[in-house]
Structures are given as C-alpha cells and as structure tokens.
Structure 1
C-alpha cells in the first residue's frame, strides 16, 4: 500500500473532492462519491462497493486501523487537519474518508431471493434526512428492495449517507420513474398497497404475506394519481390527533413492520 501526503486545501485534487462532496452534478459526471466514517466505509465494502482512494488524518485514524478495515489495494493519502476539515461533512468524525465508485440502480437490476418479496417504494422524497431514515427502516426490516420513484436527489448525497448510517449501502435500491416502476411491479405480480387518504382501508386489515409493495408519498402532496389508479388497495394509518398525516419515514416504518409481523418476521 503506497501512501501520499497532501497538506494544502488548495491542492487541485482536494478542490475536486470538495466539488464531489457538494455537487450532485459532479458525482454523476465522475461516477464517484465520498464516504465519511469507518462504519460507513465498512458497510460500503460489505455492499460490494469499490473504493478508489482512501484519505486519512493520521492523528485520528492510523494506517493500522485502515489495514483492519479493508484488504482492498487502494490508494492511500494522508492529509492535514485543514484538508480533512475541508472534506469532512460531519462535525464529529473519525479521520477517514473514501472515494468510491457509484453503482447503477436501474429497476431491471433488482434480484429477489424470494417469490414473495416485500418492497418499499417512496415517491419523490425530497429531504435527504427522510430518505436516510427510510433506508434505516428498510435495513432494520430486511426488506427485499427499496425503490425510489422520481428521485429529487441522488443517492450519494452526503446527508443521505450520514442519516442512513450507511444503510444506503446495505439495501438493494433501485430508482426510476413512476410509470416504469408500476410496470415492473405488475410484471412481477407484486401487489401494490398505497398509503393514501382516498378509498382507503386500515393497514392492519390487509394481507401483506403475498408479494407486496408498500408505497409512500410526500407529507405535502401524497402520492400521484398514477399510483392511486394502479393500487391493489389504498391503506391508511388511523390518526387520533388533530392532523391527518405523519412523517413519511415513520409511516413507512409502521407499515413495513406490520408486514413483517404478518410474515412472522421472516
């Protein structure tokens, strides 16, 4: 393992990495992104991601720790405190950042290991924090796939990585537009249960033991008509307070774990 040293924040390579951290356009153009933190890098490796380069701030993260983290032959760069702080996204951090290659998340790449998959679909989620929370829920429930319809941000936004605690790497994820996702689900004979207020039945009265997609929309606008027109059944979580909606990640958790309960948490 060869190690280089970069001390200046004005180094052209470091300036390029700052763009990679801050700009979705740059991540898409290069097909790479940054991963910050030991646990997140470990989960990315577990999820089959390829690392191009690892940067460490030696006072916080040693070469010995790096050797314990990965056996991949990866370029290693030691950086100064100023360089590390320029690249780090979190206030509290561990001294290690990786440059990783993005994966392609096409709907046709999904591979189910069961004939009764449980899929979570989120339409047009805007807030990276909500997407991260949804991915943590999906990981906790070990769903077969997460599908994001009409995404408003790229999956490798550093706030999604942070808020998902690396679960963006442990879930099987696909993205696409609503039309192609509905077509895919129907072709796979997966029942579509849409969380919606219109023509709904209480969620716990439904049978989620068959091939199931649970679909959630945004708190502001809900799901598009296209989903409602193609729904096997609209479902609702009964509200007992003054408002008629809850945070999308909370709703997704309630619905997914009801499905897991019915499946005896298999």
Structure 2
C-alpha cells in the first residue's frame, strides 16, 4: 500500500459525530461506569477498552453502545470493520485528545473505548456440550489482577466454565477487563455463593477436587479425565471449611522450597493443564 493510500485510510472522518469536551454527558457516563461498581450494577453497562477487547466482546455477542474513537491513534474505518461480520450495530463517535486522555485507562488502549451491556452470569445459564466438562472454581478472589489471570488461564486451556464463588468484585471491573485481556468475553463465567456453587456441581455430577494443604494427595496422582471442578482459594486463607467438607478429593502441589503456597492463578494453571494433559490435549 502506498504512503498516500495509508494517509487517506488514516484520515479523520468528517462525517462522524465529535466530542471535544470532557463535560459531555457521554464522557461523564463513561467515567462513572469505569469508577463505580454500583453504577455498573444498576445500569447493566460497563466500559471496555482496546480493539482486541472490542473484537472479543462482539464475538461473545455483547451488545455495544457508543464506540468512542481517538482517530489520531486508530482510524474509524478500522473499528467499523470489526462490525462488518456481526449483526451488531453501534454509534461511532470521534473524540478529542483531551477526552481520550481523560477516559483511557492507559495510553496504549489503542484509541478506542466502548460502552457495552453486561450479561447475567448465573449458574442456571451455564451449560455443557460434553459429558466430562472441566471447570475452574475460585472462591472469593479479591485482586482483579488474579481474577484476570484466572480467566486467561481458563481461556488458554479452553476450560468449559469458570465459576467465582462468593465474588468480592464485579466481573466488569476495569482492572479485571484489562488483566484478562478480554477473556471475560470468551468463557462461560458464573458467580454464586459457595453453597450455590457446590449444589450446582453436585446436581451436575461434577467431581469436586479442592486445592488444600490437609488430607491431600499430589495433584498429578488424581484422575481428572471425568467431569471435574478444580477448586482454588486465596493464597492468604485458602478454601473455606464448606468446600473441604464437600470435597471429593483434596489435592496439593508438592513444593520444595520454604513456603507452602503459590499465587492462586499460578496454582490454577498447574492444575488445569495437568487435567488437559490427562485428557490428551498436550
């Protein structure tokens, strides 16, 4: 492609609606959605940032509202093209540098933000297409970065579902969206109380394997080829007694150093990829 054609492609679109003031109502709405979990919950909306995240949200059939584009970084035509093969329609708005800097989580957000409708992540909405689903369960993870890493691990292993028991934050927290690199949109995700999640697993005849220090066997000695839920807790407190009482098998990752625990996302990755190895996918 010639330099001239590149310039034409990257030129700003004069036909787009433009927002240049940080006092614009849409700008204020985006800020509230980014900063306040209560607003996200009551409105059913959230803000996503980045071309990859927007592409994955469209793939996950999320309904997207206004798409804000800083054209000095990203040509509007490039974002509009993401919608070409989807039934989704959106309003595209060009924003100024001042507005972009006010809204973007970081300047490497690729010049695009969008308001989107969230989904209901209920246990009743989870379904399985195979007889031996592999599920990752995390109880009460607090750090958005850990939740994002858990979702990335589940996506990498193509887990059938991720379930958060006793969630401490909403799934559309900007830090979770950022750290998951859009994997929130690519996995079946559900939330519920520990009691509800245990009941769901038992109802669906899914074996519960809890990562725990007591009454445990090395993880690699356990058969994970059947319908299995790998359950992990926080590094600080581990799993609650309710999980341990209902566990079909406690498993442990043997360690040779001085500490007896690892980051929850690292532990989950070790366990889930052992399950994938046993299932012949590695």
1:103 to 116, 119, 131: 119
Q: For the residues of structure 2 that align with 1:107 and 1:24, how far apart are their CA atoms?
A: 21
Deviation for aligned residue 1:75: 1.0
Tell me the secondary structure at the aligned position of residue 154 of structure 1.
Answer: coil
Q: Conserved in 2, the CA contact under 8 Å of 1:219 and 1:245?
A: yes
Which residue in 2 is equivalent to 1:246? Answer: 262
Output aligned runs, 1:129-168, within 5 Å: 129-168=145-184
Match of 2:113, SS? strand
Alignment partner for residue 221 of structure 1, among 234, 237, 245? 237
TM-score of the aligned structures, taking structure 2 as reference length: 0.92
1:265 equivalenced with 2:281 (yes/no) = yes
Are 1:3 and 1:75, in contact at CA under 8 Å, matched by a contact in 2?
no
Q: Does the 8 Å contact 1:192/1:231 carry over to 2?
A: yes
Note if 1:16 corresponds to 2:22: no
The equivalent residue for 1:51 is 64
Question: 1:161-215: CA deviations, max 9, x gaps?
Answer: 1111111110110000000100000000000000000110110010000100000
CA distance in 2, matches of 1:240, 1:23: 43
| 78-87 vs 245-254, which moves further | 78-87
Supply the distance in 1 between the matched residues of 2:238 and 2:81 (Cα, whole angstroms). Answer: 45
- Paired with 1:240 and 1:190, the residues of 2 have a C-alpha distance of 31
In 1, Cα distance between equivalents of 2:144 and 2:207: 27
CA–CA separation in structure 2 for the residues paired with 1:86 and 1:249: 32
Q: In the alignment, is residue 40 of structure 1 matched against residue 64 of structure 2?
A: no
The alignment covers a number of residue pairs equal to 266
Shift in Å, 1:61: 1.3
Which residue number in structure 2 is paired with residue 200 of structure 1? 216
> Which residue of structure 1 lines up, in the alignment, with residue 81 of structure 2?
68
Measure, in 2, the Cα distance between the counterparts of 1:202 and 1:90. 42
Are positions 1:128 and 2:144 aligned together?
A: yes
Consecutive aligned runs of 4 or more in structure 1 exceeding 2 Å deviation: none
Cα separation, 2, equivalents of 1:12 and 1:178: 40
Matched residues in 2 for 1:76 and 1:252: separation?
Answer: 39
> Partner of 1:53: helix, strand, or coil?
strand
Structure 2 equivalent of residue 5 of structure 1: 18
The residue aligned with 1:25 is: 38
**Which one of 93, 104, 123 corresponds to residue 77 of structure 1?**
93
CA distance in 1, matches of 2:244, 2:190: 21
User: How far apart are 1:91 and its partner, in Å?
Assistant: 3.4
Moved more, 206-215 or 65-74: 65-74
Report how far residue 93 of structure 1 moved.
2.1
CA distance in 2, matches of 1:16, 1:104: 21
> Would you say the 8 A contact 1:43–1:166 is kept in 2?
yes
SS of the equivalent of 2:185 reads coil
Unaligned regions of 5+ residues in structure 2, if any? 1-12
User: Structure 1: which 5+ runs fail to align?
Assistant: none
Cα distance in structure 1, aligned partners of 2:107 and 2:233: 31
